[in-house]
Amino acid sequence: MSNAKKKQKRLIFRGIVLLLLASAILFSIFSKDKVKVLAVGDKAPDFELVDLEGNKHRLSDYQGEGVFLNFWGTWCPPCKREMPYIEEQYQQFKDKGVKVLSVNIGESNLKVDTFREQYGMTFPIVIDKTKDVRDTFNIVPLPTTFLIDKDGKITKIITTEMTEEEIKSYMESIQP
C-alpha cells in the first residue's frame, strides 16, 4: 500500500473519530433534562418536608396565606444576620396571614436545632435532606427567599441578605 493511501485512510479514520466525539458532546448537551427556572408570576412548586418535631409541612397547606419561603444554612453569615429580623417580623405578621417557612439545606437535625435555639427562632423549620427542594427551586446562593402570595404565585425572589426594613416590606407585600 502506498503512503498516499495510508495517509488517506488515517485522515478518514481521524475524521470519523472526530465526528463521533462531536456527536457525543452534542448529545450530552442537548439530552440533559432541562430544569425549569422559576420566575416571578409562576406557581410555586409544591413540596413536603418534615420539621424538627417530625411534623409534615406542604407548601400547598399554606394556600390562602402569604408565604415567606426562606432557604438557608447554619454556616452562612448573611443567614445568621437576617434570622433575628425574620423572627421579629414573623412575630408581627403571623396573625395577619403571613407565614414563614424556613428550609435548611441538608444539614443535621442537631445542627439546625442548635442554630434555632441560639437565634430564638419560633417559625417552622424544615430540612431538605435530599436537596430535592433546593434543586426544584434552583437555589444557588444562600440565603434565597421566595415571596409567595395567597394564590401560590411567586411575587418576588430575593437572592441577597435582607435588612429588617426590607423583610417587613416584603411581608406586607404578601399579606392577604
**Which amino acid is residue 126, in one-letter code?**
V
C-alpha distances in Å from residue 96, one per residue of 90, 109, 124, 145: 10, 30, 16, 19
Q: Is the pLDDT assigned to residue 131 strictly greater than 90?
A: yes
Kindly indicate the confidence band of residue 165, based on its pLDDT and cuts at 50, 70 and 90: very high
Which of the two residues, 87 and 13, has the higher pLDDT score? 87
**Dihedral of alpha carbons 41, 45, 48, 53, sign:** negative
The C-alpha cell at 51 is: 420539621
31 pLDDT more than 90? no
Residues 61-72: what's their mean pLDDT? 97
State the number of CA atoms in the 13 A half-sphere of 98 facing the CB: 24
3-state DSSP percent of the chain in helix, strand and coil, to 5 = 45, 20, 35
Residue 15's pLDDT is: 72
Q: Does domain 48-173 have CATH number 3.50.50.60?
A: no
Predicted TM-score (pTM) of the model is 0.80
Domain ranges of the chain: 1-32, 48-173
CA dist 47 → 10, 115, 118, 121, 144 (Å): 56, 23, 27, 22, 17
Band (35; pLDDT cuts 50, 70, 90)? low
Q: What pLDDT, on a 0 to 100 scale, did the predictor assign at position 130?
A: 96
